[in-house]
A and B are shown apart, each in its own frame.
Chain A
Amino acid sequence: MDDLTREFLIESQEGLDRMERCLTELESKPSDMGLLADIFRTVHTIKGTTGFLGFKRLEKLAHSGENLLGLLRDGKLAADGSVITGLLQLQDGLRSILRSIETEASEGEDTDAALIARLEELQAPAMAAQHGRGRSGHVAGPAVMDPAPAAAENRAPTSAESAATPGPEAAVAPESAIAPASLTAKQEKEPGTDAGKARSVPAGAAAESTLRVDVTLLNRMMNLVGELVLTRNQVLQATSGQPNLTMLSRRLDMVTSDLRESVMKARMQPVSNIFSKMPRIVRDLSQSLGKRVRLQMEGQETELDKSLLEAIKDPLTHAVRNSLDHGIEDPDTRDRAGKDPEGLLKLRAVQEGSHVIIEVADDGAGIAVEKVRVKAIERGLITKERAERLLERELLQLLFLPGFSTAAAVTNVSGRGVGMDVVRTNVEKIGGKVEIDSKPGKGTTLRLRIPLTLAIIPALIVRSVEQSFAVPQGALSELVHIPPEQAASAIEWMEGAPLYRLRGKLLPLVFLDRLLMPDVEHRQVTEQDKFIAVLNADGRQFGLVVDGLADPEEIVVKPLSAVLKSIGLYSGATVLGNADLALILDPGAIAVKAGVTISSEEQGRQSGEEETGEQAGKSLEYLLVEAAERKSAVPLGDVLRIEQLKVSRIEYIGYRPVLNFEGHLLPVEDSGGVLAAVQHDPEAQIIVVVCREGNRHVGIAVSHVLDVASGGDLFEAGTGKQAAGVTLLKNSVTGVVDLGAVAPLPVGEQATSEWDQMTEAAR
């Protein structure tokens, strides 16, 4: 059963419950127009929706009921006993069909003719009420009996129990009270049990397995869970040194995580909520643009926090419009290019770790990179020299600059230059990222990376002006440590503007203490440890200079009062594990406040940096690591983060070392024997380089991380073939760690036996 039908069933059952209440109430207050209107609405809604879902039998029955109710509502008919009986029968009839849809996904055999006839008969003018009442006895019999056979066979699998227990007296009461006296005892019993079952069967199914909850209540729960997460963080910190509390705090940790996940899940909605709007948009747009487009949607069941779903609606719509307008060509052009005249637009949603990826892919013309280059120079977004040096991927990043549009003509659909930058701004506002990928002639893919939730975010805690501040991890690209003796020399000044040479490129710096305490006279950079958090916000990259770093923490975002929000630097506040309060810094606002702009040079440099390591054929950057006195290289582009931890954190499944990150298992590769070397000392610190390998993450145990360097190509003597698996790093041949060779962890159902074997082996 699809979601639409399920929702319809729930709504209809709720409506029928309400209708039943109203009907019984109507009996005592026959002229209450409000009640009649309510009943009419229920039946009308059912009719309307069934027409849409294609349930013919239900529609027919609801339609005849609606006619009768229309007369009642308009005051052309009085709601006397027989009419109410008829309406209750109608309600039972509708219920039995709904039940059939729910249990068998079909409406069952159409046996409603008598009931419909009865309802039509009731529509006879009110003056014949006496007459109608006289006849109702005859007709009511079969009509009441009517839904029974259909219901009986539909109910077959579940009926044994409910048939054994007769319907509750209360449920029977309205039926039997209204039923004309001429009904036999047998007939009276029939509708009675029928009604009883009608209520009990759906009650046990869809109507009771789901519950509608007020969003404010969910928000409150989220708040409380956030509170619990904070308390847990504090408990974990407080008990870390006490072995007798370890078990308890671990359990608290686990339960809290589970609870948090469950509450978060309750806030989740499938992306189909916004995907479902797309077919209409695509249809309308492709018609108005004279294009033929087929829409294909995948992963609609992927879930996302409700508030985030709202937030990506506009960017997604924009992306779809863009694809249709600029991406997919008109049928003639496609035909000439040897493509299917009908373009394909693919919407795909998939969850990847703590992010949901939403892809908008078209098989259109792709982005003409040369055009982008020309346009960027034309618009003065970038200098000519700079543009000529840019690589394809770097050029694509220019699309996200404000005021950029490659559309030859400005159409009313898009192309006014307020396109991609808006998409990016909106997505980054919720902590997401936008990537674009395009192959000329083949199509363009826009990828939105959206975090699963907003309320709890990972953040780096930094220290400045003797306080803690939280920097959202999403904006953080790397950290640089400047030792005290270098503090004065490493930071260079250009007419009062502090800069740092990050791998040969100048990075503008913002001193957090100077920014926050502008009145205080700051001496020249003092001889103490400085840390530069390289942040990337809204396309602005800068280094935030802070005095100290604390551990990254999962923080619960608390809103700030309006007066503090208006300062503009803080996006919220949070309570840290040590019970300190920390303000959450807004990297974008800091960049603006400090005057960091997206200059063309900077943009080029930044995108250049982002893309380094991913350019095939160009010199890759590597992380130089040392494992058991042997140096090896890890492609920097694949490195997610570097963790320093106690060797005791490494656990084993069988012989395989793994790391448990809050339920996410990371296989650890230890070809260098780092783990084995320190195994006798559980307090020893090791370093695990966490890398991306395809869709999974793998860890590499190393003893030291040495440097970042760009690798040179090496060729086999004689053949001149490019050597694989090695690179030239700092003039010495270094082996590249083959991430692909790290054996995957057994996952999925077929692997459970393997798990068992391994855990067996471990014992």
Chain B
Amino acid sequence: MSVAGNDLSRRGKTAETRVEMCSVRVGQGLYGVPITYILEIVGKARPQPVPLAPGFVGGLVHYRGDVLTTVSLRQLLGMPPKDGPQDILVLENAGGAMGLLVDSVGEVLTASSLEYEPNPSILDERRRALFAGAYKLKDSLLVMLDPEKLDPMRLSGSVAA
């Protein structure tokens, strides 16, 4: 396989282990988020839009007494916005808690780290910045998201640039 992974994720290096991740669906794609980052899953939420906010901001949701900024995965992947309620993965990364707005949250999958492949080189710049490789499932690819890179503050820097 002609995979020149110049963007090796640190997750990929931990060989021979089972990795658990939560699968999420956006459009036709299946994506994975390491469960260690997930605080909670909020179903059927309607985030409050924030006028003048950067495009990737999915709006605000009320989460356990705090107001959480959400990031829309659809927007990040350049897909048209979706009407109606969406599911939110509440993630905790270095920048604090944030919400990831996805079409729907699927089951928790376990994959062997041996099935891991880093990002392929033909991936476009924007996706390469978000993805952390993929796991080869039996019948599809599970594209891993890097929660650290989903931090709104980092996104505002990279999207603007």
Contacts and interface: CB of A to CB of B under 8 A. Distances in A.
Interface of A: 223-224, 226-227, 465, 467, 516-518, 558-564, 566-567, 569-570, 572-575, 579-583
A559 B66 CA distance: 8
Given A562-B95, A563-B156, A570-B50, 11 more contacts: A516-B51, A517-B51, A558-B66, A558-B67, A561-B69, A561-B96, A561-B98, A561-B152, A564-B69, A574-B67, A581-B48
Contacts of B57: 563-564
Nearest to B50: A564
Closest 9 CB pairs of A and B: A516-B51, A561-B69, A563-B152, A581-B48, A227-B65, A573-B67, A558-B67, A563-B156, A567-B52
A618 B62 CA distance: 52
B43 interface: no
A566 B156 contact: yes
A223 B65 contact: yes
A581 B62 contact: yes
A553 B20 CA distance: 45
Interface string B41-82: 000000011111110010011100111110000000000000
A58 to B, nearest CB: 47
A302 B17 CA distance: 62
26 contacts: A223-B66, A224-B65, A465-B51, A467-B48, A517-B51, A558-B66, A558-B67, A559-B67, A560-B67, A561-B95, A563-B53, A563-B69, A563-B152, A564-B53, A564-B57, A566-B156, A569-B52, A572-B67, A573-B67, A575-B62, A575-B67, A581-B48, A581-B61, A583-B48, A583-B50, A583-B60
Nearest to A226: B65
Contact of B50 (A226, A567, A574): A567
Nearest to B59: A581
Contacts of A516: 51-52
Contacts of A561: 68-69, 95-96, 98, 152-153
Contacts, number: 66
Contact of A563 (B48, B54, B68): B54
A313 B7 CA distance: 51
Nearest to B64: A227
Nearest to A574: B67
A467 B67 contact: no
A581 B65 contact: no
A580 B51 contact: no
Nearest to B69: A561
Nearest to B51: A516
A231 to B, nearest CB: 10
A581 B67 contact: yes
Contacts of A226: 65
Contact of B69 (A467, A517, A560, A579): A560
A558 B97 CA distance: 14
A465 B49 CA distance: 10
A581 B60 contact: yes
A558 B69 CA distance: 12
Contacts of A467: 48-49, 51
Nearest to B56: A563
Contacts of B51: 465, 467, 516-517
A224 B65 CA distance: 7
A232 to B, nearest CB: 14
A566 B49 CA distance: 16
